[in-house]
Each structure stands twice: as structure tokens, then as C-alpha cells.
Amino acid sequence: MSDGATVYSYVLLVTVYGLLLASTVHAIVRRRTLLAGLAARRAAFYRNGIVNMVVLAGLAVLIVGLNPDLTMAGAGWTWPDGVWTDYFYTGGILVLLAGLFLKSRRNPQPETSTALLPRTAGERRLAGAGAFAFGIGEEILYRGLLLAAGTDLLGLPTAVVAAAGLVIFTAGHAYQGWRGMFSIGLLGYLLTMLYLSSTSLLLPILMHIVWDLVALLLVRVPVREQPVPPSPSTVPPDSTAPSTAAPASAPASADIEVEAAADVGTEAGVGDGVGIRLRSPIPR
């Protein structure tokens, strides 16, 4: 491998993790703005996330290929060792996921905690594709390449690099709020331990994809109850309606006032309502 290729690999390595750090800082600083704006830009969020993960994961594979001190096996592209701890951490992730899912079904989460969840068929398709992109890309970036580069290139202890990856991974989800960060941090810890146990990205990627599919597509979306309109039999007669026995001298050009009030629905798609009121003529 030429020295030029090695230099390129380091430049790409710094670029990739510089972008990840910048994205993490942005997620922390603007977490409230990002969460509030997800309802209007949910589809764009999925599309941008998919593109970013594909590009960064592709660069990660290129970095490993260009740098002679890195190997595909060292970056996690190998079969799991198959030791008992692999099954232990895999089971722990599945138990945690089942618990969170059942809790969300019994007690639907508030809208502030579920702004990322898709509402339409198009958003659900993007979310499903995103689950695969995020599951593959984030494991390559936060586990495989980071641990390989930190230990093989920088000579740092495995525990230090793993902890740094976990912190960055969790902080990058700051826009989901403290509750979301807690769940993501716990998931990240189990995925990191699973990777260190198996020395392979295969199981962490599979578990990450399953987690995202369940979290994005199966968690119940909160729906604001729509008021039930009164039945026609219970509506009192409109006392302001023009009487059929009105004098013939009533002005022909009666003023009519129409008022429309739009009731904007929640993110779950509650429909609009329009109210109309007639104002009886006032003699001049």
C-alpha cells in the first residue's frame, strides 16, 4: 500500500469523525428546535439520515481498505466467535426491547417522545429503510471502525475507545430528550458489549436493525381525541335565523357573516373543522 493511500485514509478518518462530532454537538445544542421541527420535516429527516449513513459507512469501508494497519476482520467484518456471552447480550437486548414495546402499548407515550415516529404510509416506508441504514451505518461507525482505529492506529485501551464511542453515540440522539437518550445509552452499552464479546459486527447490526424496526414501526403513535359533534336532534334551533314571517320591507341586502375556524390536527392527522354562523339583518 502506497504512502499516499495511507495519508488519504487518515484524512478520510478525521473527516468522518469530525462530521460525526459536529453532528453530535448540533444535536445537543439544538435539541429542542430539532424535536419541535420533526413533525414538519419527518420524511426529510429519514431521507437525509439514510443518505448520511450510506455515505459515511462507505467511507469507513474505504478507510479500512486504504490503511495497511487496519483489516476487515479487525473492523468487525468477520463471523461471531459464538461464545456464551454473545447469546447473553443478544438476549438482554431482546428482553429490553420487549419491555419497552409492551410498556408503550399499555401506556402510549406523549407526542414529545414520539415525534420521530412515522404517521403516513410514505413515512413508514422511509422509516423501514432508515432502520436498515441506521443499524448498519451506526454499528460500522461507532463500534467497528472506531474501535479498530482507536486501538490499532492510536494505541488506546479498548475500554477507553468503547466508552468514547458509547458517549458519542448516545449524545448524537440528544434531540430525542432525556428519556430517549437513556434508552439509547442502554442499547448502546449492550451493543458495545455484544461487539466486544463476538468480535463481529454481524450480531450488533442485526440487533440494531430489529430495535429500530420495532421502535419506529410498532410503537403506538399518540392520537388526540377528536370531539364528537352533537347529533342533529340535540342541536337547538337557531334563534338568529331569519323568520319566514319577516316584514316585506326588510332590506333585501342582508349582511351575512361567515366565520371559518380551522382546527389544526395533531401529528397523528386529526382532520380540520369549519364553523359557519349567519348574522340576522339589522334594520337601518
Per domain, the residue ranges of the chain are: 3-217, 239-284
Query: What does the pLDDT look like over 71-102, one tens digit per residue?
Result: 999 999 999 988 999 999 999 999 999 998 88
Asked if 114 and 223 count as a contact pair (C-beta separation under 8 A), the reply is no
Q: What is the pTM of this model?
A: 0.76
pLDDT tier, 180 (very low <50, low <70, confident <90, very high otherwise)? confident
Give the per-residue pLDDT at 112.
55
Cβ-contact 202, 80 below 8 angstroms: yes
Average model confidence (pLDDT) across the chain: 80
Calculate mean pLDDT across residues 28-47.
Answer: 82
pLDDT for the residue numbered 258 = 34
Residue among 162, 167, 188, 166 at smallest CA distance from 89: 188
Could you tell me the pLDDT band of residue 103, with boundaries at 50, 70 and 90? Answer: confident
pLDDT at 50: 97
Please state the rounded mean pLDDT for residues 187-216: 96
The reported pLDDT for the residue numbered 198 is 95
Helix (H) or strand (E) holding 65: helix 42-66
Q: Is the pLDDT of residue 263 over 70?
A: no
Per-residue pLDDT, averaged over 137-155, amounts to: 96
- pLDDT beyond 70 at 283: no
Supply the pLDDT for residue 89. Answer: 96
Percentage, residues of the chain above pLDDT 70: 75
Give mean pLDDT, residues 46-57.
Answer: 95
Higher pLDDT, 284 or 95: 95
pLDDT at 236: 54
Question: Which whole number is the average pLDDT over 220-229?
Answer: 54
pLDDT digits (tens, 9 = 90+) for 105-141: 887 666 656 778 898 999 999 999 999 999 999 999 9
Specify the pLDDT at position 172: 87
Would you place residue 26 in the very low, low, confident or very high pLDDT band (cuts 50, 70, 90)? Answer: confident
How does pLDDT run across 228-251, given as a tens digit for each residue? Answer: 455 555 555 554 545 444 444 444
CA atoms within 13 A on the CB side of 201: 24
CB atoms under 10 Å from CB of 140, counted, come to 25
In whole angstroms, what is the distance from residue 11 CA to residue 26 CA? 22
Give residue 229's pLDDT.
53
| CA separation for the pair 63, 120 (Å, rounded) | 38
* Nearest by Cα to 194 from 103, 100, 96: 96
- Model confidence at 224, pLDDT cuts 50, 70, 90, reads low
Q: What pLDDT sits at residue 104?
A: 80
What single letter denotes the amino acid at residue 145? Answer: L
